[in-house]
Amino acid sequence: MDFLAGLNTSQKQAVQQIVGPVMIIAGAGSGKTRVITYRVAHLIQKGIDPFNILVLTFTNKAAKEMRNRITTVVGGEAKNIWMGTFHSVFAKILRVEANKIGYPNNFTIYDTDDSKSLIKTILKEMSLDDKLYHHNFVYGRISNAKNNLISAQEYQQNEAIQAEDFSNGRGFLGKIYETYVNRCFKAGAMDFDDLLFKTNVLLKEHPDVLYKYQNKFKYLMVDEYQDTNFSQYLIVKKLAAINENLCVVGDDAQSIYAFRGASIQNILNFQKDYPDVKVFKLEQNYRSTQNIVNVANSIISNNKNQLEKNVFSANETGEKIKITRSFSDNEEGKSVAESIIQERGNNNLEWKSFAILYRTNAQSRSMEEGLRKLNVPYKIYGGLSFYQRKEIKDLIAYFRLTFNPSDEEAFKRVINYPARGIGKTTLDRVILAADQNEKTLFEIICDAPKYLENRAALAVADFAASIQSFMVVAKNSTAYDAALHIAQQSGLLKDLYADKSVEGLNRYENIQELLNGIKEFSEREDLEERGLDIFMQDIALLTNDDNDKDPNKDTVSLMTIHSSKGLEFPQVYIVGLEENLFPSQMALNSRADLEEERRLFYVAVTRAEKKLHLSYATSRFRFGTLINCEPSRFLDEIEPKYLELEFTQKAPRESTGFGDERNKWQSKTAEKPIQGDFFSKPKPATKAVLTTSLLAKAHVPTAGFAPSDTSKLQTGQEVEHERFGFGKVINLEGSKGDLKATVFFKEIGQKQLLLKYAKLRIVEN
């Protein structure tokens, strides 16, 4: 198969360069996955053993798609490639090498809920204020430390870190971190961050292991390199140190995960790390119309810190990009829903052709309200994962305990579920006995009469016997037979079946669906090992990006922009383009933060294939209060010739400008549930379509424009603003130095302006 024939010149060159360090800068929609796929296939066709190829991705979905494509080209040899997420690949290595760093090979992988549960327990044991030491904050602090390879000991010895913690009144964070690490180790558990942290420890402290994998992985490829953090960067650098056959693929313009610890510097500095690197730029966008690509380029050109490239499209020019202005967030939701219905009818599209993207989850409320009122089917991405549902986590806890009886979080979750008469007092005694005797909780209940009173001892001893019987069954049965046995004999299935409510029925059906999945896993012929423990390893490594996103389900997709990465839709609506919302107010403190927000906007824009819609509201409810908003600065950065303005226009209100309330709103609270009148019926609106841009609306200043002295400005005077045009002062308020003017501008309505910054020209009559 001559797969190279279907590649453009840049793609072909990137595929054929297989020796030495390579950087592939892949613009949005430029065929990145195809290039990675064909490059791996090309390596195999050149005689490279697939066992010597390592491909690292950020989602299991991406790895699965690539493997399937490679299989189509080279056949069964694709099974032998080491390919997967950073976490799954290095978890696999740690399973083999864990004993070298003191862990059992069957270590449990704690998910975020497990980690936070353990942190809550530690906070309670240390009698710390759970508001000051909120478990989410503590978890984030520990995660950030691990991603920067700062151990608990180093954390407590670092003067700068300690000074920061003590100045914030959180001087015990280091001790919490240390206790958390020790408890995980005692439980034979690693959290997600440990899978990379411990891999770094392994490679650093055991040169023989490092040498082994350096020689095994002679060819490395890393997808989405711009999203790597320091820990991932160091692992890759170490593994590639001998052969330097390292190929990284990514786009600095799509680096949007700094909040997770990703460092854009990894891709920006790659040429410094490897001076003899061969650089290939994939600049042709096959996804989007020319207008959409041009808009994306005009946005990202405002970033100073970036790799130079010129993304272009040979597709049709496409329609201009619409900017819709609505009076309120409710009206914005209604407007988007109406537009989707109209576009669907006019272009004979399915619902799944549309996506609505927003900066924060809280914004989904007004969008959902608009869609529901017009009976538009929709699905929110990033909802509760199947594997995060309580009943699923309960059964999985039994599985975890079966293979790792030291797993403290699994133990506490199910020791009295279903209820078996083991109350909090008994559990506290078990925990105390374990601490005093330096044993695990399971070891205590296996010898219960020695530590507990008769009645409590009998109850926990029965539980211990059940888990021991599960161990025997799991060792000698298929994954499905073992799972079914545990579900039945634990009493969990019976308990759920007895609940005849709608919720109970749903929970029971979810357990059946889990068992169906295990049955399917048990019958897979492409796996050498199909035990329940192997299935557990797979699901422990699922990420939010791997949740069920059925492409065949005919619904409009709603999601945050972060969740949209890697997806594409014929028509995309980006909503809430308002200052302090997008860009977020939290991103206005530094150029680096603002540039990441701009990259996030770039990612959103480049999800669109055929048509892009942008919208903002001039007022929005925040925690029950209506605040005034102004358009995002990002809209001003788009070249006017690519835009068309559409707005819903209502009768003027007292204030439709963006006033002082913007300073009261902190975007860090945007994830809180919004309160207010969600279901108030929007007032009728009339639409007017202008074939003009937002900037054209912004007015061309009078020749020789110069701001006037406004210290003696009076109500009723005519003024001119560089952007907003001509208007009349209708109100003045505030003290000298902080005087605010409410101006009604002819083109855009009312604005409230702080005079010392407004730069108004008084129009002389």
Which parts are annotated binding residues for ATP? 26-33
Q: Measure the CA–CA gap between 441 and 457, rounded to whole angstroms.
A: 13
Catalytic position from the list 11, 32, 146, 320:
32
- For the residues of 178-199, what is the DSSP string, one character each? HHHHHHHHHTTEEEHHHHHHHH
**Beta carbons of 542 and 387 less than 8 angstroms apart:** yes
Catalytic position from the list 57, 226, 228, 254:
254
Residues 6+ apart with CB under 8 A from 206: 97, 100, 101
Catalytic position from the list 114, 223, 252, 343:
223
Alpha carbon of 57 to those of 579, 602, 679: distances in Å? 34, 22, 43
32 catalytically annotated: yes
Q: Measure the CA–CA gap between 590 and 598, rounded to whole angstroms.
A: 13
**Beta carbons of 101 and 198 less than 8 angstroms apart:** yes
Residue 228 CA to its chain's centroid (Å): 14
224 catalytically annotated: yes
223 catalytically annotated: yes
Q: Is 65 exposed, middle or buried (0-12, 13-18, 19+ CB in 10 A)?
A: middle
List the 608-617 sheet strands across, edge first.
Answer: 378-380, 556-560, 354-358, 569-574, 608-617, 321-326, 643-649, 686-690
129 catalytically annotated: no
Nearest Cα to 758, choosing from 747, 736, 744, 743? Answer: 743
Alpha carbon of 676 to those of 326, 368, 618, 624: distances in Å? 18, 15, 17, 4
Q: Which helix (H) or strand (E) holds 752?
A: strand 749-754
Sign, Cα dihedral of 430, 431, 437, 443: positive
Nearest Cα to 66, choosing from 85, 45, 52? Answer: 85
Catalytic position from the list 13, 33, 112, 478:
33
Catalytic position from the list 224, 394, 630, 720:
224
Alpha carbon of 430 to those of 17, 170, 440, 453: distances in Å? 61, 30, 9, 11
Sign, Cα dihedral of 149, 151, 157, 158: positive
**Beta carbons of 7 and 34 less than 8 angstroms apart:** yes
45 catalytically annotated: no
Q: Which residues are annotated as a binding site?
A: 26-33
Rg of the Cα atoms in the chain: 29
331 catalytically annotated: no
Residues 6+ apart with CB under 8 A from 526: 79
Amino acid (1-letter code) at residue 416: N
Q: Measure the CA–CA gap between 301 and 598, rounded to whole angstroms.
A: 10
Catalytic position from the list 170, 218, 334, 607:
607
Lookup result for tokens 């835009």: 643
Residues 6+ apart with CB under 8 A from 679: 369
Q: Which residues are catalytic?
A: 32-33, 223-224, 254, 607
